[in-house]
C-alpha cells in the first residue's frame, strides 16, 4: 500500500505525518506538492494540518483551489481513502468533500493542548480498533464545527459522526468542548465512509515519548483496512 501526504504552502504537519507513516509504521509514503497531480498507485491521501496559504480569507478557503485539489476530488470519486487533519479537515469542508463549515473557536483564541475524544463508531476504515476514549492533542484557532439542522440530522442518521470531545469518563459535556463545536463534533466521515476529517492531530501522539500513542491507532486502522 502507498500513502501520499499533500504539502500546501503553509502546511506544518506534513513532516510529522510522513515520519509516522514511514519511520513508525514502515509504510511507503511520498510528499505531494500542491501543484502535483496524483498517480493511480496511491491508496490513501493525507491532508495535514498547518496554515495553508496563511489561512487568508478563512482556513482552507484558498487551498481548496490548489491545482492538486482537482486530483483529490477525482481520487475521492474512486472511493479511495482520504484523511484530513485539522487544516486538512477545513480544506475538505471548503472543497465540499465533507459537509458543514468551520468558524473561529468560541473563545476567539488559538487552543493547543491534549484533549479526550470518544469514538462514536467503529464502522469506518479509520476506527476499526477497540479503544473508545482517546487522548489526542489539538492545535487550532478555527475548530468550531457548524452545520444546519438537516445536515446534522443526516450525520446522526447515517452514523457519520466519528469523534466527539468528551471528558475522561467519556461523557459529552460542554466543559470538554474546546472550541464550541456543535454536538461536540471533532471528526466526521462522508456517506461512503472513505473520507475522514478530524480536528485533533493523531500524528502528534503516535509514540509513547509524546505522552500518548492513541493517534497511532488511527493510522494502524487505515493500514489494516487496506491490507
Collapsing DSSP states into helix, strand and coil, what is residue 207? strand
Residue among 140, 122, 136, 190 at smallest CA distance from 166: 136
Catalytic residue among 17, 94, 120, 201: 201
Grid coordinates given for 33:
506538492
pLDDT tens digits, residue range 118-175?
Answer: 999 999 999 999 999 999 999 999 999 999 999 999 999 999 999 999 999 999 999 9
| Type and span of the H or E element at 74 | helix 68-77
Catalytic residue among 44, 86, 166, 205: 86
Q: Could you give the CA distance from residue 150 to residue 155 in angstroms, rounded to a whole number?
A: 9
| Type and span of the H or E element at 94 | helix 87-94
Q: Could you give the CA distance from residue 22 to residue 140 in angstroms, rounded to a whole number?
A: 25
Q: Active site includes 86?
A: yes
Contact 86, 136 (CB under 8 A): no
Catalytic residue among 140, 166, 203, 205: 203
Distance of CA 2 to the CA centre of its chain: 18
Tell me, yes or no, if the pTM score tops 0.95.
Answer: yes
pLDDT at position 156, please?
Answer: 97
Residue ranges, the chain, pLDDT below 50? none
Q: What domains can you pick out in the chain, each with its CATH number? A: 2-226 (3.40.50.880)
Amino acid at each position: 500500500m502507498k500513502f501520499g501526504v499533500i504539502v500546501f504552502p503553509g502546511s506544518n504537519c506534513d513532516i510529522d505525518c510522513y515520519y509516522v507513516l514511514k519511520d513508525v509504521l514502515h509504510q511507503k509514503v511520498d510528499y505531494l506538492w500542491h501543484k502535483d497531480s496524483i498517480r493511480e498507485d496511491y491508496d490513501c491521501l493525507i491532508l495535514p494540518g498547518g496554515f495553508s496559504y496563511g489561512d487568508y480569507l478563512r482556513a482552507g478557503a484558498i487551498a481548496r483551489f490548489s491545482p492538486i485539489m482537482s486530483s483529490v476530488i477525482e481520487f475521492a470519486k474512486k472511493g479511495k481513502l482520504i484523511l484530513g487533519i485539522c487544516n486538512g479537515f477545513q480544506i475538505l469542508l471548503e472543497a465540499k468533500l465533507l459537509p458543514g463549515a468551520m468558524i473561529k473557536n468560541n473563545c476567539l483564541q488559538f487552543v493547543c493542548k491534549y484533549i479526550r475524544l470518544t469514538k462514536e463508531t467503529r464502522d469506518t476504515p479509520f476506527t476499526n480498533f477497540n479503544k473508545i476514549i482517546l487522548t489526542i492533542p489539538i492545535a487550532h484557532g478555527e475548530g468550531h464545527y457548524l452545520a444546519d439542522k438537516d445536515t446534522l440530522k443526516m450525520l446522526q442518521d447515517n452514523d457519520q459522526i466519528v469523534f466527539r470531545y468528551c471528558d475522561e469518563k467519556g461523557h459529552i459535556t460542554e466543559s470538554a468542548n474546546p472550541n464550541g463545536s456543535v454536538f461536540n463534533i471533532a471528526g466526521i466521515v462522508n456517506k461512503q465512509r472513505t473520507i475522514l476529517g478530524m480536528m485533533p492531530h493523531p500524528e502528534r501522539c503516535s509514540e509513547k515519548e509524546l505522552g500518548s500513542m492513541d493517534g497511532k491507532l488511527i493510522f494502524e486502522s487505515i493500514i489494516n483496512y487496506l491490507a
